[in-house]
Structure 1
Amino acid sequence: MSFWSATRWRQHLVLAHPTDRAVLLIEESAGWALPVLEMNAAHPGDAEMIASGVRERFGVDVGVLGCLHHDFDRVTRVGEWVRELENHSPLWRPTPPARWITADDLGSLTLAWPGHRRLLTAWLAGHCPARAPWERRGWLHRAVGWSQSELWRHGLGTIEHVAQVRAWEFSTVLRLTAGARQFFFKAVPAGREREMRVTRRVAERLPHLIAPMIASDVEQGWMLMAGVEGPSLETIGDVRRWEAAARAYAGLQIDWVDHVTGLLTLGVRDIRPSCLAAEIDACLTDGPALSPGLRRDLRPPEIQALRTLSPVLANACTELEAGGIPNTLDHGDLWASNVIDTADGPVIIDWEDACVSHPFFGLWFLLMSAEDRLDDPARAQSRIRDAYLEPWTRYASPERLRGTFDLAQRLAPLCFAITFRLDVLPILHASWELREFVPFFLRRLITAWAGQTG
């Protein structure tokens, strides 16, 4: 399943001189232009793909700092990005028709992309401030230095290779190789440090279900984890491995049932059904969230259908809250890609969206993943559901659990639309295609409640 409006991306690269305030431009028939990488649309934070493309085409090692501009052509479905890069090859020299351009040079040049002149003028004048710490020159060196110190402190060796895996508004991720082992450094922006707190607490209680944490610095939003060996669950066609993951996840949630108050003190969002109901009208009247100007915008009849459903959804939240299944920890983003199938069992990664909610919401993403990844998806989904519900039989009969689960799954798209609106949209500035997710979730909600009226 592809969620992106764009089918192709054109990456315009602001490659900085290693020491001077100058940018690399290439002379073309239409004028001077930034270096460009053409690629299929992928994850908007895929820094490794960009760095690899720059290395292959230009022979330069770079770090991806941030996005300076983005645009989307709804006709051609080409996404235009302008990315700022940090030059990690100080001895590299451009060859004609490429050269370093300073602010003094820029005014006399004809640009192949005239719209880039204002952006480049501002960048060369130092007027493009970094939004996240990792968008600043020199930050990567400091992060790797901290990681190395922690690895030495734990006797885990010397870093031999660094690869930047992710760089976007929500985080940056580095893959560090030390000897035969891999480690992952992750940084998050201010206000999202809850991931470090939750990850550490889950690792303390259930270490077999999470990648080992080597170190963390909550104040800086830094975390260093050991890599785990095994394929992502999304690559595995054996439904039994998916059942094992669902069963293990249920056990994790049950383990946290009596610790909800402690979870909330860690800073996770409270999205229990009663809180969900209180956010319905605000979500369904947020025009820019429902129709952000992309391919999957909700149409007026769909928006009206959602607003008509509002009282039905509120009543369903009340019913779910009274259903006898306790609220607990939820991962909040349990796609199969966030489960690693190791020899010792499933390991769940990336807890940045952790929250307190009705537990049964959490399986929605895993079942969505099965829809695309497994043969006979409907039968596979039923098996995964039953494996997940098995540990919950201490709270209700299998029949009652299935009824509550079905209700929760019908409400789950509402839960994720609301949390996305509250937690993701406010910090989006570059990964604009993520704005499609609120309409995506709400369209699924309409389908789940087809025929219902207030």
Structure 2
Amino acid sequence: MITEEGIEAGPVVLAVGEEGRVLLGDVPGEDLYGAGEGVRAGVAAAHHRVQLRSVGAVDRLVAAGVPDLRGVGLGAWVRERLAGHDVTVAARLLDGLDKRLRRLRDCGLPDTLVHGDLHPGNVRGDDARRVVIDWADAFVGHPGFDILRLTEGPDAPAAARLVDEWADRWRADAPGCQPRRAVDLLRPVAPLRLAAVYAMFLAGIEPSEHPYHVHDVPAALAQAAELAQAADAA
């Protein structure tokens, strides 16, 4: 799929093999780490079109094997993967997670396909072509996760503008929804989910690689706890 912004949703699939292996077409250019507000705005607008089209396909996506992290199912998934890790710093957030996720659902945004790691480094290309890559962390769930990841890095005013534009699109396409409230509820949940992703990664890599990633889970948990505390104080 190529959006009106000229951004492709993913590389061309050349072949599909066993155990989920795929052969993807080459994407020339560079990964867009450090991209400015304009590039991020284009990615956000293009990705919104992908998510909007995916709303009606979530059941098919789940049936095809895309992880189902809708609603309180996300809470169970997070807790399962963090089992065995010291979650003391984020215990309060975890204790209230299901309640927070129910409040999030009440904001009225639809579940859809979530990239799961939509930072500019996962957009590759040049002036002629840009492609969203690395869908390994994709899941079905809340669309707010992707705008929060995409707005990490820019200064606060730029990030706020990007979120405002994202909220305007969802208000237009899902009348009656409350996207800004949803983002506020989701802010501490985003690094909490990343902590679970890192825990899953640690569980699957060679023990010799652990020293390079041993701090990933506690760092994400600490960030989640800090954001939750800031939200409670606001």
From the superposition, tell whether residues 264 and 420 of structure 1 become closer, same or farther in structure 2 (CA, over 3 Å).
Answer: farther
Bigger-Rg structure (1/2): 1
Amino acid of the residue matched to residue 182 of structure 2? T
Task: Tell me how far 1:272 sits from its aligned partner.
Answer: 1.6
2:179 is the alignment partner of 1:401: yes
Structure 1 contact 274–321 (Cα < 8 Å) conserved = no
Query: Which range moves more in the overlay, 387-396 or 268-277?
Result: 387-396
Task: Tell me how far 1:378 sits from its aligned partner.
Answer: 0.5
2:61 is the alignment partner of 1:263: yes
2:72 is the alignment partner of 1:236: no
More strand by share: 1
SS in structure 1 at match of 2:96 = helix
Aligned to 2:132: 348
Structure 2 contact 11–133 (Cα < 8 Å) conserved = yes
Structure 2 contact 107–181 (Cα < 8 Å) conserved = no
Task: Tell me how far 1:282 sits from its aligned partner.
Answer: 4.3
C-alpha distance in 2, partners of 1:207/1:240?
A: 13
C-alpha distance in 2, partners of 1:218/1:392?
A: 38
Q: TM-score, normalised by structure 2?
A: 0.83
Aligned to 1:361: 145
Task: Tell me how far 1:380 sits from its aligned partner.
Answer: 1.5
Aligned to 2:97: 313
Where do 5+ consecutive residues of structure 1 fail to align?
A: 1-201, 291-302
C-alpha distance in 2, partners of 1:350/1:279?
A: 21
Q: TM-score, normalised by structure 1?
A: 0.45
Structure 1 contact 241–341 (Cα < 8 Å) conserved = no
Structure 1 contact 338–350 (Cα < 8 Å) conserved = yes
Amino acid of the residue matched to residue 208 of structure 1? E
From the superposition, tell whether residues 249 and 220 of structure 1 become closer, same or farther in structure 2 (CA, over 3 Å).
Answer: closer
SS in structure 1 at match of 2:16 = strand
Aligned length: 226
C-alpha distance in 2, partners of 1:286/1:366?
A: 30
Structure 2 contact 78–193 (Cα < 8 Å) conserved = no
Amino acid of the residue matched to residue 274 of structure 1? V
Q: Which has the higher contact order (CA 8 A, sep 6+)?
A: 2
Written as runs of structure 1 = structure 2, the 5 A alignment for 1:377-396 is 377-393=155-171, 394-396=173-175
C-alpha distance in 2, partners of 1:281/1:209?
A: 31
What RMSD in Å do the two structures reach over aligned CA positions?
Answer: 2.8
From the superposition, tell whether residues 228 and 280 of structure 1 become closer, same or farther in structure 2 (CA, over 3 Å).
Answer: closer
C-alpha distance in 1, partners of 2:25/2:158?
A: 32
Aligned to 1:216: 16
From the superposition, tell whether residues 316 and 207 of structure 1 become closer, same or farther in structure 2 (CA, over 3 Å).
Answer: same
C-alpha distance in 1, partners of 2:46/2:25?
A: 21
Structure 2 contact 7–132 (Cα < 8 Å) conserved = no
C-alpha distance in 1, partners of 2:128/2:187?
A: 29
Aligned to 2:219: 440
Written as runs of structure 1 = structure 2, the 5 A alignment for 1:166-181 is none
Structure 2 contact 58–113 (Cα < 8 Å) conserved = yes
Written as runs of structure 1 = structure 2, the 5 A alignment for 1:193-204 is none
C-alpha distance in 2, partners of 1:328/1:236?
A: 25
Q: How many percent of aligned residue pairs carry the same amino acid?
A: 26
Where do 5+ consecutive residues of structure 2 fail to align?
A: none
